[in-house]
């Protein structure tokens, strides 16, 4: 009887131990390695947002076409071309009487000269030597343009007189009446003719002055000339200075 009870107790203990073991094994759960942690999930979301923002806001860059500046050509300096080739002195005169205007032109277009017209028969008590209409002048030519192969145009940019025109004084027993530069006064446009200018192409008003000093002309002018278009007055190169 005693043995039977001991066997029963032993069997009961075995069953209890087996149940405990089975219960303990049921509480242990395998770790799910496939589920990401919260930190990993947050980091992945942040990286995706940044990448999306960069792709959304960044515009593609396009290179601007290279613009090559156009070359600008300075206008040709016809003034230097003309003034560098002109003779030093021109004359405006009828060839009759004691009057003339002499015009000296420098290579930079500056000029000087004088006009004189003497009348020894007009005298007075204080001026027995007669009367002289006279002026000394200086100035600057400019705004030169080439009209054709044998003609240039130019203007008087500045002109000054040594004595005020229309004033007078008596000196050296003569009466001096100061005048403007005959041939250049009221000159709004001056045409300059080169020696190879065809005579048949030149204004008759100009040729009328030329022939008073040089009556024999060929098919071309043969010398430089200056024509005051406004007043229809003409200078020629002073061939006899």
Helix (H), strand (E), coil (C) string for 1-51: CHHHHHHHHHHHHHHHHHHHHHHHHHHCCCCCCCCCCHHHHHHHHHHHHHH
Torsion over CA: 36, 39, 43, 45 (sign): positive
pTM: 0.69
pLDDT tens digits, 140-178: 999 999 999 999 999 999 999 999 999 999 999 999 999
Mean pLDDT value across residues 68-87: 82
Q: Mean pLDDT score of the chain, rounded to an integer?
A: 82
Kind plus residue range of the DSSP H or E element containing 79: helix 78-83
pLDDT in tens, 92-132: 999 887 899 999 999 999 999 999 999 999 999 999 999 99
């Amino acid at each position: 009887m005693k043995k039977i009870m001991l066997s029963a107790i032993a069997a009961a203990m075995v069953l209890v131990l087996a149940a405990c073991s089975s219960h303990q094994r049921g509480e242990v759960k395998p770790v799910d390695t496939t589920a990401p942690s919260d930190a990993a999930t947050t980091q992945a979301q942040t990286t995706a947002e940044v990448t999306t923002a960069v792709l959304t806001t960044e515009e593609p860059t396009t290179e601007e076409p290279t613009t090559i500046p156009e070359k600008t050509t300075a206008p040709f300096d016809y003034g230097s071309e003309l003034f560098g080739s002109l003779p030093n002195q021109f004359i405006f005169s009828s060839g009759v009487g004691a009057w003339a205007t002499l015009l000296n032109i420098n290579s930079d277009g500056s000029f000087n000269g004088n006009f004189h017209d003497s009348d020894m028969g007009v005298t007075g008590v204080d001026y027995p030597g007669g009367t002289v209409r006279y002026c000394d002048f200086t100035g600057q030519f400019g705004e030169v343009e080439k009209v054709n192969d044998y003609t240039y145009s130019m203007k008087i940019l500045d002109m000054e007189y040594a004595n005020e025109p229309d004033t007078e004084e008596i000196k050296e027993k003569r009466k001096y009446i100061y005048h403007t530069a005959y041939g250049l006064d009221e000159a709004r446009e001056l045409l300059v003719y080169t020696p190879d200018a065809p005579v048949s192409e030149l204004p008759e008003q100009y040729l009328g002055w030329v022939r008073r000093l040089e009556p024999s002309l060929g098919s071309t002018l043969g010398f430089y000339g200056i024509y005051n278009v406004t007043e229809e007055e003409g200078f020629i190169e002073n061939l006899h200075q």
